[in-house]
Amino acid sequence: MARIIDGRKIAESVHQETASRVEALKQRGILPKLLFTRVGEDPASKVYVGMKERMSARLGILSETVVLPDETTEAELLKKIAGWNCDEEIHGILVQAPLPSHIRESVIFSNVSPEKDVDGFHPVNVGKLVLGDPTGFVPCTPGGVIELLKAENITTKGADAVVLGRGAIVGKPMTALLSQKGPTGNATVTLCHSLTSNIEERCRQADIIIAAMGVAEFVRGSMIKSGATVIDVGVNRIADASAKSGSRLVGDVAFQEALEVAGAITPNPGGVGPMTIAMLMRNTVLAAERLTA
């Protein structure tokens, strides 16, 4: 039976460190501020931003949320971002995805100041991550996974790791982090995607599996090597007649099957999700420290 990795408990230790850094900034007369913006009324976006707002308040980070209508043009959003980039009272900027289809996310993320890009999506920060340059911002979810592995004393040096999913937000940066030189890297990483052959066989050889494909319960127990570490990043909604809403959320891993085989596993919810928010808060404080040094 696998050891369950408690993401909430590990996130709490990160929050304690962040809160002490916020207090140190306040002693210098600096109030770290995080600007959220979302375009439209996507229900999931409203929930996610609300969670981040509440955590900001709890840690003493000032936050502001700007909600723009669905019909906002790309040019109008870029103009807003340009103003926030120049506002010295704002230290972090987060543009909540998804954006309406007429707005190109890549263009928007590329126009947030790299020094305020606490999501770690700007090409400058992506480049620094790949180069192993610590002066950039690490994307929050991959950064959170690394913190989970570190807290649980999971050995990455020399480990065979499989990352499922080649997305720019999780899969690709996760691959870069695990393969970098350092105490939480030095793994041999295989990046798998929808066109990878023999995924099941590749997973069975892995010491660490990071599942971020966005496919409900894709990783079955039969795909996991005995004693492997399994990190479930996926969030998928599936039909469930027994649920009050008619559906429920599941990860990319068939949890009960995996629990019988893995050595350590993240639950979903309660695994990676809390760490993503914890890393966002940490990045915001880091941005404030750097911008006011």
* Residues annotated as catalytic (active site), given as ranges: 52, 96, 119
Q: Give the Cα separation of 219 and 232 in Å (integer).
A: 9
Q: Give the Cα separation of 94 and 247 in Å (integer).
A: 29
Q: Where are any strands of DSSP class E within the chain?
A: 3-4, 33-39, 62-68, 92-95, 160-164, 188-192, 208-211, 229-232, 236-239, 247-250, 264-265
Report whether 64 contacts 35 (CB < 8 A). yes
Q: Give the Cα separation of 38 and 55 in Å (integer).
A: 18
Task: Record the tokens describing residue 77, joined without a space.
Answer: 């959003």
Q: Which residues contact 214 (CB under 8 A, 6 or more apart)?
A: 165, 167, 234, 235, 236, 252
Q: Give the Cα separation of 110 and 101 in Å (integer).
A: 17
Largest pairwise CA distance in the chain: 57
Helix axes of 123-131 and 171-179: crossing angle, nearest 10 degrees: 30
Q: Give the Cα separation of 140 and 166 in Å (integer).
A: 16
Q: Give the Cα separation of 275 and 27 in Å (integer).
A: 27
